[in-house]
């Protein structure tokens, strides 16, 4: 059961927080992080005396990752998908979407930090416009990246 939970947590993080997975991997803390979160999920299921079934496990994994806040990766991903659909499709077709979104996230990180990006202000126009500008600069090569 523990390994199944761990894999589900990894899948959830990979989908919604790949920047965190990369950071944990680079720091050598990925395994420890997954083990700690898995133990927390198992303890929570035991405390709630929840019958362990797929739905309960999925909800527990989602609750565990929800406290991480809004994913900057998902924000950049959705901005690319909504505002640059042609480029988004090209990246999907090439198989390099995640690579480029991670690079775009790097290009957006300073402005997202400066504007204190988070769940409470993710809908602010200033953040959206700043991210759109950075993504546009990335795609046009104006930021110094060599790509597409």
Q: What is the pLDDT of residue 5?
A: 84
Q: What is the pLDDT of residue 68?
A: 78
| DSSP symbol at 144 | S
Q: What is the pLDDT of residue 136?
A: 94
**Rounded CA gap, 123 and 137, in Å?**
21
C-beta separation of 12 from 65 below 8 A: yes
Summarize pLDDT for 122-131 with one digit per residue, the tens: 778 988 999 9
Summarize pLDDT for 135-147 with one digit per residue, the tens: 999 999 876 555 5
Residues of the chain with pLDDT under 70: 49-54, 143-148
Report the phi/psi class of residue 55: left, alpha or beta, with left for phi > 0 and alpha for psi in -120 to 50: alpha
DSSP per-residue codes, 84-127: -HHHHHHHHHHT-HHHHHHHHHHHHHHHHHHTT-STTTTT-HHH
**Rounded CA gap, 6 and 13, in Å?**
11
pTM of the predicted protein model: 0.73
C-beta separation of 92 from 80 below 8 A: no
């Amino acid at each position: 059961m523990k390994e199944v939970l761990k894999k589900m947590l990894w899948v959830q993080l990979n989908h919604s927080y790949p920047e965190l997975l990369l950071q944990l991997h680079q720091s050598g803390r990925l395994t420890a992080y997954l083990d700690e979160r898995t133990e927390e999920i198992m303890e929570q299921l035991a405390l709630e005396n929840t019958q362990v079934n797929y739905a309960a496990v999925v909800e527990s994994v989602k609750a565990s990752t929800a406290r991480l806040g809004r994913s900057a990766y998902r924000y950049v991903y959705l901005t690319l998908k909504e505002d640059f659909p042609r480029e988004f499709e090209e990246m999907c077709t090439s198989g390099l979407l995640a690579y480029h979104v991670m690079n775009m996230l790097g290009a957006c990180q300073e402005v997202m930090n400066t504007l204190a990006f988070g769940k409470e202000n993710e809908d602010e126009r200033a953040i959206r416009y700043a991210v759109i500008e950075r993504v546009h600069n990335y795609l046009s090569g104006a930021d110094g990246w060599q790509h597409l």
